[in-house]
Amino acid sequence: MDKFSAAERQSDRRAYTHKLNFELDTSVAVFKWLATDRWLRGVELEGSLDYVATGLPKKGDRIDRVRFIDNASPWSFSIVFVLPIAPL
């Protein structure tokens, strides 16, 4: 996947840059066992594992008066609840 977000490298000349982003997403319908007329049935728990392959700060880069002493980690994991706002 592609990601277009705020520039993070010392050598970046633009405010936003392109980054190569790989992600693995999964979701679980936690209340699927409820009757179909219950709004809670549409609630999901989602997990996302991301790897940003390009465009992150490297050791020694200085950004907004902050010097990176290690390479920025390309890995992240997030968990979110998805709540339905309209009937299914």
pLDDT digits 0-9 by tens, 9-57: 666 676 777 678 889 999 999 999 999 888 888 899 999 999 988 777 7
Would you list the domain boundaries of the chain? 2-82
Over the range 45-80, which residues count as b (16 or more CB within 10 Å of their CB) and which as e? Answer: eeeeebebeebebeeebeeeeeebeeeeebeeeeee
pTM assigned to the model: 0.62
pLDDT at 82 over 70: yes
